[in-house]
Amino acid sequence: MGGRFGDGVIKPGSCEEKTFKERWHARALAVTLATGSLRQWNLDMMRHARECLPPKEYAAFSYYEKWIAALADLLVGKGILSPDELLSPSSQMHQLSSRKLHIADVADVLSKGAPTSRSVNASPKFLVDQIVKTRRAENKFFYGGHTRLPKYVERCVGKIEICHGAHVFPDTHAHDLGERPEHLYTVSFLASELWQSPENPNDTVCVDIWESYMEPLNDQ
């Protein structure tokens, strides 16, 4: 939530802090990754499920509380578990049990990840060092849907730093509307462009932004 107006200052943790402050945090991460092996949703769907939590709960929940709450919503929403089964697990074999992630396979699965790079015929529309302006942070395919353009960089001017090639487009992927891959770029913004009174105006913030989120500055 850092970066949005009214959400306060971002306070980075120390490099010496524990990876998991509480034991259940590690379990929350583990069970979330393990349920991914059921192949009932993708990463963008999971991110959108967290965004769909009731505003009061989203603001009050800790990081991993959001993960568990969103996972519970997905398990019920996809019909994998009923609300009663979620509260009182059954000892009976589930129809998706054959897809469970075995301990011996965890390291291999995590090392492979879930690559999102794709091959497309279209050439990149933007070049390195080109000046661009972001569009509104909204999903044009699904009203109120998921988008990876941060609200705090919408309608801001930045510079293309890197072109990463084509990647799965989250705005459609999160809503089961296909991958629709398009080129992805790292774009840098001056702090003075993003915030009204930054402590260090000449600091830069780099954001990975999909092609359709931007337009050339000279098109304004």
In a domain, 162, yes or no: yes
Instruction: Assess contact for 185 and 211: CB atoms under 8 A.
Output: yes
pTM for the full model? 0.87
- The confidence score (pLDDT) of residue 186 equals 98
> What pLDDT shows up at residue 42?
94
Domain boundary among 82, 112, 142: 112
Q: Which of the pair, 80 or 2, is modelled with greater confidence?
A: 80
Q: What is the CATH number of the domain that holds 64?
A: 1.10.472.20
Task: Round to whole Å and give the CA distance between 56 and 74.
Answer: 19
Within a domain: residue 97?
A: yes
Q: Pick from 91, 112, 133: which residue ends a domain?
A: 112
- pLDDT tens-digit profile of 57-75? 998 999 999 999 999 999 9
pLDDT digits (tens, 9 = 90+) for 92-149: 778 888 888 888 888 888 888 889 999 999 999 999 999 999 999 999 999 999 999 9
Answer yes or no: is 202 within a domain. yes
Residues 72 and 101 in one domain: yes
- What pLDDT, on a 0 to 100 scale, did the predictor assign at position 86? 87
Given a cut of 60, is residue 3 above it in pLDDT? no
Question: Total structural domains in the chain?
Answer: 2
Give the DSSP H/E element, type plus range, for residue 133: strand 131-134
> Is residue 168 in some structural domain?
yes
Answer yes or no: is 17 within a domain: no
According to DSSP, residue 123 is labeled P
Q: Is the same domain home to 27 and 89?
A: yes
pLDDT of residue 100: 84
The full DSSP string for 3-61 is TSTTS----PPPTTS-S-SSHHHHHHHHHHHHHGGG-S--HHHHHHHHHTS-HHHHHHS
Residues 28 and 99 in one domain: yes
SS3 64: helix
Do residues 96 and 169 both lie within one domain? no
Q: Which of 112, 129, 163 is the last residue of a domain?
A: 112
Does residue 144 share a domain with residue 69? no
Among residues 195, 212, 191, the alpha carbon closest in space to that of 147 is found at 212
Residue 153: pLDDT over 60 = yes
Query: For position 1, what pLDDT does the model report?
Result: 41
Say which range, 29-33, 96-100, 142-146, 174-178, has the weakest mean pLDDT: 96-100
Range of the structural domain that residue 196 is part of? 118-219
Q: Is 73 found in the same domain as 57?
A: yes
Nearest to 168 by CA among 217, 125, 210, 202: 210
Q: Kindly report the CATH number assigned to the domain that includes residue 163.
A: 2.30.30.50
Q: Which residue has the higher pLDDT, 27 or 102?
A: 27
Residue 6, pLDDT score: 66
